[in-house]
Amino acid sequence: MSAPPAHSPPRPPGPVPSPCINICHIDAASGWCEGCQRTLDEIAAWSTLSDDAKHAVWLQLDARRDVLFPPR
C-alpha cells in the first residue's frame, strides 16, 4: 500500500477539519489509522475535541506517517 498524502496542519479561522481521507485501516503495531494516522480514541473523540486539541493531533500526524510509511 502506498503512503497517503502528507498532512499539513491547517490553522485558518474556523473549525479545525478532520484529517480523515477515507482510508480506514488500523495498523496493528502502532494502533494508528493508515489513512489519517490517528488513534481510535482520537477518531472517536474528534467531534468533541476543542480546536486546540484537534490542532495538537494534527501536529503529530506527519511524524506518525513517517513511522508507518518511512521515506525512501
**What pLDDT, in 10s, does the model give residues 13-59?**
789 999 999 999 999 999 999 999 999 999 999 999 999 999 999 99
Task: Look up the pTM and report it.
Answer: 0.81
Query: How far apart (Å, rounded) are the C-alpha atoms in residues 38 and 23?
Result: 12
pLDDT, position 11: 62
Instruction: Measure the CA–CA gap between 72 and 61, rounded to whole angstroms.
Output: 18
Question: Above 70 in pLDDT, residue 2?
Answer: no
